[in-house]
Amino acid sequence: MEAYQLQEHAHQLNDVAAALIELESMKAANIQRQSQGLSPAYGEEQFRELLSIYSLGYNENIDKSRRFFYK
């Protein structure tokens, strides 16, 4: 495996991990607010926005795969 492939793979894993961490934080904030009788802090739009922020949509994943296999 080439060095650029390892770097691209690490970058992809970092995006996924960061998105999951943020997603879990958002879910926890919603649970906490609901337990206090408040409305959720985050709605569907904010959860879907994570896909864009971390470039995890279908087309972005295709592009990332191309960068992984082809320099």
How far apart CA 55 and CA 60 sit, in angstroms, is 6
- Identify the pLDDT of residue 12: 92
* 15 token code pair: 């995006």
**Residue 70: HSE in the Cβ half-sphere, 13 Å Cα cutoff:** 4
* 39 token code pair: 């409305």
- Identify the pLDDT of residue 71: 66
- Identify the pLDDT of residue 3: 87
Parts of the chain with a pLDDT under 50: none
